[in-house]
Amino acid sequence: MAIHRLLASLVIVAVGPVPSINPSMPVSLQSLLRITDTCTMRSTVYERFSSDEVTDKMLEEASELFSEHYGVWAKQAEQVEGPHGKAGEHVRLSKERLRKEHLPGDTSLYVRVTVDGRLAGNALAARWTANGRRICWVSQLVIHRDYRGFGLATGLLKQLKVDGDDVYGIASCHPAHILAFAKAFGSCIHTVSLDFIKQNAASIMKTSPVEYIRDAKLRGSLFDPSDKTGLVSGIDTRFFVDHKEPLEALAWVKKNREWPLGEMLEGDEFLLIVEATRPQASR
């Protein structure tokens, strides 16, 4: 499959009044409502690269973005990660691990967004076939702290779409990423099909070229009716990142809108899998 590089330059201009943002809303969720003004973000450029187009320089920049803006380790991390997982220290990922673990095969994609020439966020996705359907799985999504709240996560995820994709998937501990994913791939979080996730998660994950997805264990009452933890749809990745910010965001989401995926547990991530939406043919 040939995947061509896409370079799109967008100048985002607010038209009319900017929608009111609830000050109690976590900044990572404000992107779902906010319109950007030209004084803050004059030039927003999205770029998409197939895995063989990704240079070491790009991965060095991606590694730096991840290591400074993804999150910090939780107190349980050292038991799993060893001395590299000290509580409160930034989670780090080398360029070598990025290429090996998040860009497998020749159909993976790397997308990035720059604002006024500065790297503001990126996303990586792997593709594979399961049960005759092509899967696009978002294996990483990171937004620079200075640029959260401007809709860049949704914009990045939209750039991952390729004709022929049948299913999109993501695992994340952050509700903002889950909401952005649902929005980017043509759904709303309250309308996602839990039955579709239940019926397809195992077969999709066990064929994944991404090791941490392939080895993860399904968690939640969706897969085990005896599960009383409060988690509905998730996976156990044994990735103990600090959940302070995600839990604050989750509390706001549950208070202000429907949230079907349940509670967040330490070492787990929410799991969302949706069918690709295709435009209906005109008559």
pLDDT lower than 70: segments of the chain:
1-42, 279-283
135 closest CA partner among 89, 170, 85: 170
Q: Give me the chain's average pLDDT, please.
A: 87
Q: What per-residue confidence (pLDDT) applies to 275?
A: 96
Q: How far apart are CA 58 and CA 69, in angstroms?
A: 16
269 closest CA partner among 221, 202, 217: 217
- State pTM to two decimals: 0.86
Q: What per-residue confidence (pLDDT) applies to 243?
A: 95
Q: What per-residue confidence (pLDDT) applies to 5?
A: 38
Q: What per-residue confidence (pLDDT) applies to 222?
A: 98
Which ranges constitute the DSSP H helices of 105-243? 152-159, 175-184, 194-206, 211-214
Q: What per-residue confidence (pLDDT) applies to 187?
A: 78
Beta strand 167-172 with 133-143: parallel, antiparallel or unpaired?
A: parallel
Report the share of the chain in percent with pLDDT over 90: 78
Q: What per-residue confidence (pLDDT) applies to 178?
A: 97
Q: What per-residue confidence (pLDDT) applies to 27?
A: 57
Six token digits for residue 193: 């099909």
Q: Domains in the chain, ordered, with CATH?
A: 6-275 (3.40.630.30)
Q: What per-residue confidence (pLDDT) applies to 2?
A: 40
Q: What per-residue confidence (pLDDT) applies to 40?
A: 52
